[in-house]
Structure 1
Amino acid sequence: MADHVKHFHGVWPHGLKGLVSATATLIFFFFLVVIAALLNWMDIKTSFGQAILTSPSAGIHHDRIEYPLNCSNVHNLTQTCPDDYPSVFEPEESTTEACPDYFRWIHQDLKQWKSSGITEDMIERGIPSADSRLVIVDGNAYVEKYRPGFQTRGAFTIWGILQLLRLYPGRVPDLDLLFFSGDRPQIMKRDYKRPNATSPPPVFHYCGEKAALDIVFPDWTFWGWAEVNIPPWEQMLRAIKKGMEKVKWENRQPYAYWKGNPRVSADRIDLLKCNLSDKNDWNVRVYKKDWRKEIGQGFQNSKLEDQCTHRYKIYVEGAAWSVSEKYILACNSMTLMVKPRYYDFFSRTMVPMRHYWPIRRRNKCRDLKFAVEWGNNHTREAQTIGKAGSKYIEEMLAMRNVYDYMFHLLNEYSKLLKFKPTIPPKAQRVCAETAACSEKGLWKEFMVQSMVKSPSDKLPCTLPAPYEPRAIQASLDAEVKITKQVETWGTEYWKKRNDKKQ
């Protein structure tokens, strides 16, 4: 006891004064403990990892709560939708950025119905041209299926729309729309120019063309193409970027490369004639892809990230437009684009000789050979075009832009509706859980990978104004002028070659 007394007297000297000092020390220590507990409870941290006190209204970023896939709500073997996901969109950032320029085409794609609006009768008349009907009421999605689409295109498209609802909860307005998941456009202008013709029905689709009225929407592969082992776009783009770093542009094979299924279009079959043969070398290397064989071999020879080995890559349409366009452009090789007939939602602001090299459909082999010769003799310019095309895809097709395009397209479409959407009697409510919980293998894996787990922390980008008709025509005229200049170069190239032979 004496030893303990000596110890305490050593710390608290001089009687009562020491006792007061000790009491103050204990109070201060207790105060620190309380503050630490409060900070831990508030979970507010600086970038250095130290807790600070601050007001919730100070604009400090808070950790977002994630809502992963919940497959536990099963009743009578039917998956139900959970009710814990936020129904109100509360972004932390109040400022918005301007959307990319290609968003302007939203106005153009909906122009047909701007004066008349869209009636329920128009929707009903469009059913024969659609695979499914999507209705959104009070932030919930309902789907009525009319016929099975090709593979799981429709399912992954609906999955993408469900992710949009999770990204911007409560912000997507009530709407009623039809969707077609096939290849070619369905609503042709010529069918609605006849005397006494009815107004065209609005049908959403993956591509459009000059002669069609289909409303262009992002394709299903942004959330994955399980049948051919192509993961969601964000994962695929990262893999391509990593893959193209394996071989520098100057060390890549100095030829034009294409690999795919040629049987789906005459243009692709015609491209086979340009392949290396005993008679000709058109500077083209074409490889047929047999998907049945690829499936049997576990897709070992069809990985897109392994196809950035040539200086030039060819884009040629399939039955209509091809989802391969974005993967080809992303590779940092100069894209040789066989003149497309169709367009998707992002490609209409791309410029020849800035983002790609134009190739004529009727003169493929000669044009391809000249393009490769030109590129190998102008390597800096060829690399610049390849990098610009790749940059366009990486930046313009960031998933945030894809979702914002969907948001603005659906929002502008809803403004045209002349009726209040109601849930069709045969429609089923769908959510992330009903769509993914019953899936297996790659189908479920890709859905989980591409799932939006939390609402956005910022507003969608700001939709730009429509293009003026003169601006659209000026753009088309410029494209024609540039393309004709390239064709003239090609004509002069072949004339000189022929002159040398004589």
Structure 2
Amino acid sequence: MFRPELSGVVAESAAPGADSAAPGVDSAAPNAAKTLVWGPGLDPNIVLPARFFFIQAVDRSGTNLTTSPGEKTFEVKIVSPLEHFTRIWIQVLDRQDGSFLVRYRMYASYTDLHVHVLLMDQHVAESPYILRGPVYHEGCDCPQLDGSVWFSHMHCPHSFPQIEQDMSLFASVDPDRNAQEIPQRFGQRQSLCHYTIKDNKVYVQTLGEHVGFRIFVDAILLSLTRKVKLPDLEFFVNLGDWPLEKRKPSQNIHPIFSWCGSNNTRDIVMPTYDLTESVLETMGRVSLDIMSVQANTGPPWAKKNATAFWRGRDSRQERLELVKLSRAHPHMIDAAFTNFFFFKHDESLYGPLVKHVSFFDFFKYKYQINIDGTVAAYRLPYLLAGDSVVFKQDSGYYEHFYSELIPWEHYIPVRADLGDLLEKIQWARDHDREAKKISLAGQQFARNRLMGDKIFCYYYKLFTEYAKRQVTEPKIREGMELVEHPGDELFPCSCLRTPVKDEL
């Protein structure tokens, strides 16, 4: 049999001290005193575009609820005693498993904040939670000057496997050499950004024709430098889909930061622009993010459609094969194209096109197929965060977190040519309990490793590890321009941090 033994699921973000619910008590009423509240959104030192924390409903006997007690069970109010009006948008998201994710976006900074978590007008756990200020909002340019303090406050993982792997190829980095050689090698044919961060200010020069995706890099760099002082560093970012550095490690490779890596290239991988934007714009202009998915996971597992589901465009040959499989086995696979672009001449063979389906409606199905597009399919973080099991195609492309995923624990692996897809779907149908366990493990991984705080941790760790390897001084090169922070005349920010004094 192709399936190894399943390993156990470890829930890193589970609330301390709570036991699993016993059979027959899932619908018990939550108890205000026993219910648990925790998370980074209760720490004034953790500044995020959307702060968040968790509520785990617990009944009178001290047992975690594992089904929803009702979407409106808990009420959250956030006020500042010194302000008549607080510009804070709050959402309480029911995760349908007895837990709730509370997120809030601040549009101004406050001296103090009081977070009230209520159950039928009764304070829950240790509510009200008092955030001793100042509590800075996302737009406030007030970096923590000691990076190790910020890193500790954020509870960042001490290591990221992908960063260690990528940095192992670069014992040293020479900004002067790179500034000369990389534009000559890639600048005419590719779209790059040349960045220097100096004194925590961001400078950039663009190379190439299609540089629109620069906005995502600018945005994360500005957001990060508002939160923590970065070391001086100089680096190049590839704005295209495909990773660029195809030389072997022994052939004088250049450090290029890319959204995606591959087995045949040596690029340094960042979180994708899609995931980065979803973190920066949570509760803003982006509706699909890891937190939103957690509140829109479709019907309970037993009521989901036991068919493998996929929608997308025709950006890879294997996608054509998937649609062909779906036509031959409609009782097993529901796959169709929403757009033809690359294989328009084959539209008559693989059409007709179908209407776009809301991503949240994907989770009406137990089985989700993740198949490469132009490069890696950037929807995988959101599929993992849902309540379905992911069938992931074996791929030469990878995102920043793939090396932490374990086949048969977080997802069901499928051959690159999809030759065993039908067999794997049938296995899942025949082993429903195991499939559900894999689904929950993938979901827990997304909740633990792909939320906004961990994305900021990743970027910070990546830049600091890179900066350590620089052997010449990063410089503001000719042609670079300062990337300005967006202004906020309505709610200006006063930074009250004390500068770090140099040791005598």
Q: Does 1:321 align with 2:382?
A: no
Specify the alignment match of 1:162 in structure 2.
222
Q: Does 1:352 align with 2:407?
A: yes
Aligned match of 1:330 in 376, 385, 408? 385
Question: How far apart are residue 154 of structure 1 and its match?
Answer: 2.4
Relative to structure 1, the CA distance from residue 281 to residue 94 in structure 2 (aligned partners, 3 Å threshold; closer, same or farther) is closer
Relative to structure 1, the CA distance from residue 180 to residue 282 in structure 2 (aligned partners, 3 Å threshold; closer, same or farther) is farther
Specify the alignment match of 1:268 in structure 2.
319
Q: Does 1:381 align with 2:442?
A: no
> Using the alignment, how far apart are the partners of 2:494 and 2:406 within structure 1?
36
CA deviation map 1:41-99 (0-9, x unaligned): 997798899xxxxxxxxxx8423344565xxxxxxxxxxxxxx8325537988955764
Alignment of 1:35-54 (within 5 A): none
> Using the alignment, how far apart are the partners of 2:213 and 2:199 within structure 1?
26
Q: Does 1:131 align with 2:192?
A: yes
Answer 1 or 2: higher relative contact order, Cα 8 Å, separation at least 6.
1
Question: How far apart are residue 149 of structure 1 and its match?
Answer: 3.4
- The amino acid that maps onto 2:300 is K
Whether contact under 8 Å (2:154, 2:453) holds in the other structure is no
CA deviation map 1:368-411 (0-9, x unaligned): 22222221221111111011111101210111111111001100
- The amino acid that maps onto 1:361 is A
CA deviation map 1:174-229 (0-9, x unaligned): 11000002111100134x65xxx5x2111000111222110001111134379xx9
Gaps of 5+ in 1: 1-38, 50-59, 70-83, 293-298, 438-452, 458-502
Whether contact under 8 Å (1:330, 1:389) holds in the other structure is yes
> Using the alignment, how far apart are the partners of 1:94 and 1:409 within structure 2?
12
Specify the alignment match of 2:240 in structure 1.
182
> Using the alignment, how far apart are the partners of 2:457 and 2:382 within structure 1?
21
Specify the alignment match of 2:204 in structure 1.
143
- The amino acid that maps onto 1:185 is P
Specify the alignment match of 1:89 in structure 2.
145
Alignment of 1:391-406 (within 5 A): 391-406=444-459
CA deviation map 1:406-454 (0-9, x unaligned): 00110010111111111122111113318x99xxxxxxxxxxxxxxx99
TM-score (normalised: structure 1): 0.63
Gaps of 5+ in 2: 1-80, 84-109, 118-129, 342-353, 498-504
- The amino acid that maps onto 2:219 is W
Relative to structure 1, the CA distance from residue 46 to residue 289 in structure 2 (aligned partners, 3 Å threshold; closer, same or farther) is closer
Specify the alignment match of 1:24 in structure 2.
none
SS of the aligned residue for 2:310 comes to strand
Question: How far apart are residue 243 of structure 1 and its match?
Answer: 1.7
Whether contact under 8 Å (2:191, 2:209) holds in the other structure is no
Relative to structure 1, the CA distance from residue 185 to residue 47 in structure 2 (aligned partners, 3 Å threshold; closer, same or farther) is closer
Aligned match of 1:253 in 290, 305, 310? 305
For the pair shown, the structure with the greater C-alpha radius of gyration is 1
> Using the alignment, how far apart are the partners of 2:452 and 2:495 within structure 1?
14
Q: Does 1:122 align with 2:178?
A: yes
SS of the aligned residue for 1:126 comes to helix
The CA RMSD measured in Å over matched residues stands at 3.7
Aligned match of 1:112 in 140, 163, 169? 169
Q: Greater strand share, 1 or 2? A: 2
Specify the alignment match of 1:441 in structure 2.
none
- The amino acid that maps onto 2:208 is R
- The amino acid that maps onto 1:305 is F
Relative to structure 1, the CA distance from residue 48 to residue 100 in structure 2 (aligned partners, 3 Å threshold; closer, same or farther) is closer
Aligned length: 356
> Using the alignment, how far apart are the partners of 1:310 and 1:94 within structure 2?
39
Relative to structure 1, the CA distance from residue 352 to residue 44 in structure 2 (aligned partners, 3 Å threshold; closer, same or farther) is closer
SS of the aligned residue for 2:486 comes to helix
> Using the alignment, how far apart are the partners of 2:263 and 2:223 within structure 1?
31
> Using the alignment, how far apart are the partners of 1:454 and 1:259 within structure 2?
47
Specify the alignment match of 2:294 in structure 1.
241
CA deviation map 1:316-354 (0-9, x unaligned): 111111211112222221111111111111111111110
Relative to structure 1, the CA distance from residue 45 to residue 302 in structure 2 (aligned partners, 3 Å threshold; closer, same or farther) is closer
CA deviation map 1:85-117 (0-9, x unaligned): 325537988955764486133122012221x44
- The amino acid that maps onto 1:145 is T
Relative to structure 1, the CA distance from residue 305 to residue 153 in structure 2 (aligned partners, 3 Å threshold; closer, same or farther) is farther
> Using the alignment, how far apart are the partners of 1:379 and 1:222 within structure 2?
30
Relative to structure 1, the CA distance from residue 117 to residue 311 in structure 2 (aligned partners, 3 Å threshold; closer, same or farther) is same
TM-score (normalised: structure 2): 0.63
Identity %: 21
> Using the alignment, how far apart are the partners of 1:61 and 1:209 within structure 2?
44
> Using the alignment, how far apart are the partners of 1:309 and 1:408 within structure 2?
37
Whether contact under 8 Å (1:166, 1:454) holds in the other structure is no
Q: Greater helix share, 1 or 2? A: 1
